[in-house]
Structure 1
Amino acid sequence: MATVQIDKLLETVVKEKVSDLHITVGQPPVIRAGGRMRRLETKTLDADDTNSLMKSITPERNQQELQEVGGTDFGFAYGDKARFRVSVFKQKGTIAMVLRRIPNEFLTMEQIGLPPVVKDLITRPRGLFLVTGPTGSGKTTSLASMMNWINETHAHHMITLEDPIEYYHEHKKSTVNQREIGVDVPDFPEALRRALRQDPDIILVGEMRDLETISSAITAAETGHVVFGTLHTTGAQGTVDRIIDVFPTNQQEQIRTQLSVGILGVLSQALLPRKPSGMVAAYELLVVTPAIANLIREGKTFRINSSIQTGRKYGMQLLDDHLFSLWKNNIVEEEDVLYKANQPGELKVRIEKAKRGLYDDEEEEDEDFDEDDDFD
């Protein structure tokens, strides 16, 4: 019964191109489409239903982890139609699951509207490039499209360290080795330590979540590798602060210096419902120029945002500026733009002024990035 059911549910997810499937006791399965949650018209699930749905897709070792710590994550392929990243967890003593659909095809950097200067940054010989944003903001998709572009255009050795592996990369022009935490290697610090002996040009660190991982990633970036990392921070300025704050006070000055030399840029993103359907990403991009490296070294990160604003000639932009242009070009609703803004109050004032026909000088030139993306 359960396998039939899970297949049916996965078929719906693939056919309707939804991003997530939620399974929990006390309601029918729920899908997230275009950023909005919607119940499917099937039976209300009870504890036996969610338990058998879980058992039909969860590997043995993950079922064991679920029993021991109350939750587990894994990835699996649904035939050749899609891959799913699954989080299984206990709630009120019953089983719940969230399945995130990972499309089989890569979107190009142009399709997802990444700022063009990203290509220059990620083809430098070494340095740390960070992609940040809350869960579900499209970080994985952006990184996959960057990695795929490098794979198609450069003969490099790329190592990805992921928990779990999401997009599968084939060897194209590059050689790509993907290591799954908990399956191929016990943890991120161990994987990073080993990676440096594996002759990589590029290392992707799925999550920089602790001091040891962050420290190893910075060291790897200094020693002649390009390191991609992700953090759940919002905004470029907040990301730099977060990295420094992870370290004990007596090490922070040294880390500031290391970071100022090692960091290439920070791409911070948010994902919004697009009118009338689909999703579109808004980006903040910090390109680390010598002036910005100085701000990081001297602990003046509070000045980063104004430097991004004046750094447009380097391809930099603030998230709220991009959100404003998405609203102005009638791509997204005002409420969605304000919901994702770093400074919603200021953006609201700006939108109100724009409605009355009052624009800042710079806005007349319009900071238009290619907004033709569908993130679906």
Structure 2
Amino acid sequence: MELAELLRRMVIERASDLIIKVSTPPCLRIDGKIHFLDVDAVTPQEAREIYETIEDTKRDGFFNRRDIDTSFDMPGIGRFRVNIFYQRGHLGFAFRHIESQILDFAELNLPVDVMVRLCSLPRGLVLVTGVTGSGKSTTLAAMIEYINTHFNKHIVTVEDPIEFIHKDKKSVITQREVGSDTEDFHTALRHVVRQSPDVIMIGEMRDRETMEVALSAAETGHLVLSTMHTVNAMQTVERILNFFPPHQHNLIRLQMSLILEGVISQRLLVRRDGKGRVPAVEVMVATPTIKELLLEGRTTELYKAIKEGAYFGCRTFNQSLKELYEKDLITLKDALEAADEPEALKMELKGIIKGAQPGDFGFKF
């Protein structure tokens, strides 16, 4: 069972992921759903051969750590990220295809005006959030590419692993990979501000130390871009606070009110036409009201402020889903399943004014 053939099949089928483990046939994730390939189950020897195919310096420490993330190019096929792990005593793999072309905001169905505005900021912290597989890395790559195309800046990235490869255009881009270019995340981040960056991209906010570096860098005049595994802006703010002990929360709230410029949260939905997936996007921009809420710790009021902040570029998931549905990009069923407030979305899509009864309009839900 050749890895190259499996990866080629992955690209042809437009699958986001390829999962390989012993005693089971390989499977592809297509539009979010698992599909087993019609081939024999993977043997321990085949798993070992796949492992040997992946040439990377990080493999040296794999048998001690039992988990690694890395990325690699398969000639003639494409670029891939892989997590190598052990399960039930055998090797396992989760591959993700990295598109060679970095798409722009319009091609990704992202709100162009607000994305451009956030990328044009001279300083501050901008976070892209969502669950695993929601397109965070793709959005972050589009943001880096926009800056690269439009501004003369030095962009430094710290990634584990490097996914999208950027070529210098108007900007110079320094891409550092944990394990090959730097010993670990924390070492790289301690030195990043000494490398004359204008923009710092941190692959993921993993812990308190990473967040401290991000907040400090944003405070000292850098634009910091990163991702978090949170589902919306409100949860993102709470997660940032929870990185720190309670006695520091007032200080962190003050810092967020001053430097948190935007939170872009994503959820991918299957397109109605079956041609891939499209993101529903919640956007929280640091409006005067939102800055005040952050400072005062009134996190539960953020949703209302986002809903009422359209003038500044804010939008809720429900507003984004409504737009996607009206453009005939997604089904009603998928829109309601992805909504934060499905009943409210249902009312909006039916054109019902708040406070009216369903029967007043002659239809049933």
Give your verdict on TM over 0.5. yes
Task: Give unpaired runs (5+ residues) of structure 2.
Answer: 356-365
Q: CA deviation at 1:255?
A: 1.0
- 1:100 is matched with which residue? 96
**Once structures 1 and 2 are overlaid, which stretch shifts more, 312-321 or 279-288?**
312-321
Correspondent of 1:170 among 155, 162, 167? 167
Counterpart of 2:100, as a letter, is N
Find the partner of 1:113 among 103, 109, 113: 109
Separation of aligned partners in 2, 1:12 and 1:22: 13
Counterpart code for 2:217: A
Indicate if the aligned counterparts of 1:286 and 1:317 stay in contact, CA closer than 8 A.
Answer: yes
Q: Which residue of 2 aligns with 1:74?
A: 70
SS in 1 for 2:273: coil
Q: Which amino acid aligns with 1:126?
A: R
Superposition TM-score, scaled by structure 1 size: 0.90
| Partner Cα distance (2:353, 2:22) in 1 | 51
Residues 101 and 359 of structure 1, relative CA distance in 2, 3 Å threshold: farther
Q: Equivalent pairs: percent with the same residue?
A: 38
Question: Is 202-211 or 46-55 further displaced after alignment?
Answer: 46-55
CA–CA distance in structure 2, aligned partners of residues 65 and 142 of structure 1:
31
Alpha-carbon RMSD: 1.8
User: Could you say which residue in structure 2 is the equivalent of 1:374?
Assistant: none
Shift of 1:57: 1.3
* Equivalent residue, structure 2, for 1:347: 342
CA spacing shift, 1:219–1:60, aligned 2, 3 Å: closer
Residue pairs, 1:325-336, within 5 angstroms:
325-336=323-334
Amino acid at match of 2:323: S
Q: Equivalent residue for 2:36? A: 39
Match of 1:135 among 129, 132, 136: 132
For residues 127 and 140 of structure 1, what CA distance do their matches in structure 2 show? Answer: 19
Q: CA deviation at 1:355?
A: 6.6
1:153-202 CA-to-partner distances (Å, cap 9, x unmatched) read 11110001000000000111100000001211122222122110111110
* One-letter identity of the residue aligned with 1:262: I
Cα 1:196–1:65 change in 2 (3 A) is: same
Is residue 288 from structure 1 mapped to residue 286 from structure 2 by the alignment? yes
Q: 268, 271, 274: which is aligned to 1:274?
A: 271
**Partner residue of 2:243?**
246
Alignment check: 8 A CA contact 1:131 1:143 kept = yes
**How many residues align structurally?**
353
Q: Secondary structure at the match of 2:22?
A: coil
User: 2 CA distance for matches of 1:350 and 1:153?
Assistant: 37
For 1:265, the aligned partner's letter is: G
1:205-224 alignment, distance < 5 Å: 205-224=202-221
1:77 aligned partner, one-letter code = D
Whether the 8 Å CA contact 2:287–2:309 is kept in 1: the answer is no
Q: Deviations over 1:256-301 (max 9, x none)?
A: 1111101111000111111222110110000001221111111111
Measured against aligned partners, the alpha-carbon deviations of 1:2-42 in whole angstroms (never above 9, x if no partner) come to 5xx11111111222222111111222111111222111121
1:80 is displaced (CA, Å) by 5.3
For the Cα contact (< 8 Å) 2:322–2:349, is it kept in 1? no
Amino acid at match of 1:242: R
**Deviation of 1:340 (Å):** 2.9
Q: Do 1:125 and 1:224's aligned partners in 2 also have CA atoms closer than 8 Å?
A: yes
In 1: Cα distance, 2:193 partner to 2:344 partner: 49
Q: Out of 68, 87, 93, which is 1:91 matched to?
A: 87
TM-score normalised by length of structure 2? 0.92
Letter of the 1:347 counterpart: P
